[in-house]
Amino acid sequence: MNMQFADYLVHLSNIMLLVSYSVRDILWLRWFAVGAALINIPYFLLQGTVLWPPVLWALVFTAINLYQITRIYLERRPVVLSEDERRLYDLGFRSLRQREFVALALAGEWKSAEAGERVVTEGESVSGLCISITGSAEVHKQSDRIGTLGPGHIIGTSLALTGAPSPVEIVFTEPARYMRWSLPNLRSFMDKRPDLRVTLQRLVNRDLAGKLEKLLSP
């Protein structure tokens, strides 16, 4: 390989860098950066004295970009939801990307309840949030029924926000399947994913508005 051809490689490398700066997809940007770095290496090797420092740095940049490319491909893999996860996602989390929803689901745990099982006890603080995908729950205050929460409603939202002892009792009236997030786990999740905090707050606000509208309906 003569020096003139090596010069052409330098031009090609810089053209690829120029293209990388013009693409919007970060994956393509990294692939063009890898190509530009590898194409430049022969030029450094063919000098009268081999330019090892730029060769080594080109290999370092290539390794970093290949690592990030692998991460991007892993993050873009299709998400496969279980039957329970799919139902929960459809009930109230469609505003989240499926991969974000899976991360949120991993912060909680699936539970099954029998008819008559209590999820919120009157006079006690709420320790977690629940959302059922099957089964309804009744809200009682001093043994009086004041409302019903069906699948998709968040159980314990307002009580968890205040931290005060619950003025009501919430009991499943039929066998139920539900997701539960403990408050410490949920706070830890939101601290690690601040980008999702606003989206989750919107979901909570929508749930509270729906419950208020239901209570005010004649």
Domain-ending residue, one of 30, 47, 75: 75
Q: What is the pLDDT, as a whole number, of residue 212?
A: 58
**Number of domains present in the structure of the chain:** 2
Average pLDDT of the chain to the nearest whole number: 86
Of residues 29 and 146, which shows the higher confidence score? 29
- Catalogue the E-assigned strands of 95-143: 109-113, 118-120, 128-134, 137-141
Same domain, 33 and 93: no
- 115/174 same-domain check: yes
Q: Which residues of 72-86 are buried (b: 16+ CB within 10 A; e: fewer)?
A: eeeeeeeeeeeeebe
Q: In 10 A of CB 193, how many CB atoms? A: 15
Cα 99–Cα 102–Cα 104 angle in degrees, nearest 5: 115
Say yes or no: 60 and 126 in one domain.
no
Q: Judge if 176 and 94 occupy the same domain.
A: yes
Distance CA 129, CA 155 (A): 6
What is the rounded distance in angstroms from the CA atom of residue 16 to the CA atom of residue 29? 9
Place of tokens 């004649």: 218
The enclosing H or E element of 125 equals none
pLDDT of residue 208: 66
Do 91 and 155 belong to one domain?
Answer: yes
30: containing domain: 3-75
At what angle are helices 26-45 and 3-22 packed, to 10 degrees? Answer: 160
Q: What's at 25, amino acid-wise?
A: D
pLDDT above 80: residue 207: no
**CATH code for the domain of 211:** 2.60.120.10
Which band of pLDDT confidence, cut at 50, 70 and 90, is reported for residue 172?
A: very high
**Confidence class for position 218, pLDDT limits 50, 70, 90:** low
The answer to whether residues 71 and 104 belong to one domain is no
- Percentage of the chain with pLDDT > 70? 92
Q: What percent of the chain has pLDDT over 90?
A: 40
Bigger pLDDT: 141 or 65? 65
Handedness of CA 197, 129, 173, 213 (dihedral sign): negative
Lowest-pLDDT choice from 7-11, 66-70, 112-116, 184-188: 7-11
Same domain (yes/no): 47, 128: no
Kindly report, residue by residue over 10-20, the tens digit of the pLDDT.
Answer: 888 889 988 88
DSSP 1-52: --HHHHHHHHHHHHHHHHHHHH-S-HHHHHHHHHHHHHHHHHHHHTSSS--H
Tell me what pLDDT residue 164 has: 76
Task: Mark which of 75, 109, 129 sits at the end of a domain.
Answer: 75
